[in-house]
A and B are shown apart, each in its own frame.
Chain A
Amino acid sequence: VCLAIPGQVVEFFPEQPALVKVDVGGVRRNVNVGLLEDGELALGDWVLIHVGFALSKVSESEAAGQLQMLRAMGEDELAMEEVRGYTFAADDGERR
């Protein structure tokens, strides 16, 4: 339940400040950033995502470490399935 998935911020939406688009292993989805402070994120930043929300901002190396950890735990597929499954902010889909 406490899966935390690393994603990189690739787009902001001026008309929807609560959302950012993140890239998780090539899958792009919108996630909610309401649990971060306003103005905390910049393009290219990395966040840990949990149930559709960015939980915290992390360094690139920590994001890489987190991804490696998910792989080693056998939870990377589950993580991708979760990110693909977010439907609350429909998007133009995946870029593989």
Chain B
Amino acid sequence: MTAAGASRMKYVDEFRDPALITAVAHEIARTVDPARHYRIMEVCGGHTHAIYRHGLRDVLPDNVELVHGPGCPVCVLPTGRVDDGLAIASQPDTILTCFGDMMRVPGTKGTPLELKARGADIRMVYSPLDALKLAQDEPSKHVCFFAIGFETTAPSTALTVLRARELGVRNFSVFVNHVTIVPAIRAILDSPDMRLDAFVGPGHVSTITGCRPYQFIAEHYGKPVAVSGFEPLDVLEGVLMVLRQLRAGEAKVENQYKRIVPWEGNPAALRALAAVFELRPYFEWRGLGFISQSALRLKAAFAEYDAEVRFALPNVRVTDPRAAQCGEVLKGVLKPPQCKLFGKECNPEHPVGALMVSSEGACAAYYRYARIDEAVNA
């Protein structure tokens, strides 16, 4: 363990189970085949954050490599969609609302925060229901909610749209950018430059979806999956579960996060999703390109709440700045410090790419917790 590693271990010590962490780390070391290299993808950006914050790489053997997955909603949103959202904010008598995470995501003409400083009416909300409330409070304006997020967040948008209809609110719409995790995992598995051995599955997404949707990963691709929680011990146990499967030559879906994740998911939330949304034929993801049936849109019955129906949006594909290698980082092909802009032009104060904005983004996690160590070892 390096000196930098030792200093980062203090985060682990703040936890309730330092002894258990050591025990699981030892068990992992006993389970791995020293002659083999393991590449395990943690799908969720929350896991990426936890891994770097707690220095978990330092307790893993050198031949166990964690690859960061696409589970960061603002990271995978392509610039063209950010521009479309911001085009709504430039409409007369229109208020665009979005979560705090979105406020610093760069579009072609700037971030929502910068456009707001230039006079656009863009407001941060903590809940889609706050956006609906704003529409009720400002009947002379139109209020649009810039909806992002995976299955954890999409049901809340669905219920908000249902509530808007129930209340008869007419000056409210949603710009839907909800994406679903399974098609992204499938795209990664089908990608020729991706060599992965196993997956640590997302925690809070799975409270909604349950574990069943991941079974194809084990059954069709022969890769182990462990749905895991976000504490250091959870993440390490998830890693141990998939390593044990690999050693036994097995591939199945295990649930490390049983205390939160029911195998069948959240039926009420799944009903809300099915009532309001349908799958888009395809959707563009930053780094992963167009993925079929990977995103949600409002059903035709809710067209009056659909910002894409209500507004004429530019709908222009925008490539990322050429020097920025967000796509390669998102696919796990490059580590953040291998990007030419990392820590230089692109930093948390002035993010060039969305991966540097959100705490779930791999670049932001590296920058905050691993930058010095990486620079030394690069």
**A positions within 8 Å CB-CB of B:** 1-2, 4, 18, 32, 34-37, 48, 50-53, 55-56, 58-59, 62, 65, 68-69, 72-75, 81-83, 85-89
Contact = CB atoms under 8 A, between A and B. Distances in A.
A75 B231 CA distance: 13
Given A1-B360, A56-B260, A51 B156 contact: yes
Interface string B3-25: 00000000100111000000000
Contacts of A86: 126-127, 129-130
B132 A2 contact: no
7 contacts: A1-B74, A1-B101, A1-B150, A2-B203, A32-B156, A55-B207, A56-B266
Nearest to A84: B126
Contacts of B49: 73
Given A1-B148, A1-B358, A88-B132, A72 B231 contact: yes
Interface of B: 11, 14-16, 44-46, 49-50, 53-54, 72-74, 99, 101, 125-130, 132-134, 148-150, 152-153, 155-156, 159, 163, 202-205, 207-208, 229-232, 259-260, 266-269, 272, 358-360
Contacts of B358: 1
A88 B172 CA distance: 14
Contacts of A48: 207, 260
A62 B261 CA distance: 12
A50 B153 contact: yes
Contacts of A74: 53
B54 A50 contact: no
Given A2-B204, A34-B272, A50 B360 contact: no
A72 B54 CA distance: 9
